[in-house]
Amino acid sequence: MQSRTTPPSGRPCRPAARTGRPRSAAADEAILEATRAALVDLGWSKLTMGDVATRAGVAKTTLYRRWAGKNELVVDAVAVLFDELELPDRGSLARDIEGVVLQFAAILERPETKTALMAVVAESTRDAPLRERIRTSIVERQKRLVLEGRARAERRGELPVPADAVAAARVADLIFDVAAGTVVHRTLVSAEPVDAEWVRHFTLLLLGGLSAASGDA
């Protein structure tokens, strides 16, 4: 259950098909676009390969020539949405956190992301290659923001420099789990909006801990 190619990643990992008609590049984007549209219209569980093919004006075989199945296709289709995440310098760690959390939440609240993300993660609990694909296509792409933000905060003197690389990695992973997990839970499980006020409180908690978050409004 591994895709034969990784079309949007650009790497030509297909085993050197020198001759013959090359694959349509336009089809790839049409398929991913159709996949996102189908996610919006139907949600994960009602999305079918045949329907995506029809929407993309493509034969089913063309889909299977490029992706191993629904899981892989959907991961690629939503992965590009996370590319727009950025971390402009807003002047302080608190402002940086607020900014990126709001951006992240905005992506999660899109209907195609909302329905797809948890589903593929659920599938990935039994499918290691899929888990790896999710990690490289989506998760790691976000984690670099944590590293970047932390480095910036250290330069500002807002956070202490970690004792060693291991400790640094451990803290970064923790922060990433806390940040991403909390926003996902708020959005998908609690089904509550991630608005400016909530983000402010969350940032307070992140920076100062429970007593800080409990203090005032």
Partner DNA sequence: TGCTAACCGAGACGGTACGTCCCGTCTTGCG
Partner DNA sequence: CGCAAGACGGGACGTACCGTCTCGGTTAGCA
**193 half-sphere exposure, CB direction, 13 A CA radius:** 3
Is 82:112 a contact under the CB 8 Å cutoff?
Answer: no
Stretch that binds its own copies, among 2-10, 23-31, 49-57, 181-189 (CB under 8 A): 181-189
Is 47:39 a contact under the CB 8 Å cutoff?
Answer: yes
**What are the tokens at 74?**
């959907």
Residues lying near DNA in the complex (CB under 7 A): 17-24, 27, 46-51, 57-62, 64-66, 69-70
Could you give the maximum distance between any two Cα atoms of the chain, in Å?
Answer: 69
Say how far apart CA 199 and CA 175 lie, in whole Å.
Answer: 15
Q: How far is the CB of 185 from its own copies (least distance, A)?
A: 3
Report the residue number, 35 or 115, with the smaller CB distance to its own copies: 115
Q: How many other C-beta atoms are found inside a 10 Å radius of the C-beta of residue 187?
A: 21
Say how far apart CA 42 and CA 138 lie, in whole Å.
Answer: 22
Residue 80 binds which of its own copies, DNA, none (CB < 5-8 A, kind-dependent)? none
Mark residues 96-135: x for contact with its own copies by CB under 8 A, - for none.
------------------xxxxxx-xxxxxx----x--x-
Residue 61 binds which of its own copies, DNA, none (CB < 5-8 A, kind-dependent)? DNA
Residues in the site for its own copies, rule: CB under 8 A?
Answer: 43-45, 93, 114-119, 121-126, 131, 134, 139, 159-160, 162-163, 167, 170-171, 173-178, 180-186, 188-192, 198, 201-202, 205-217
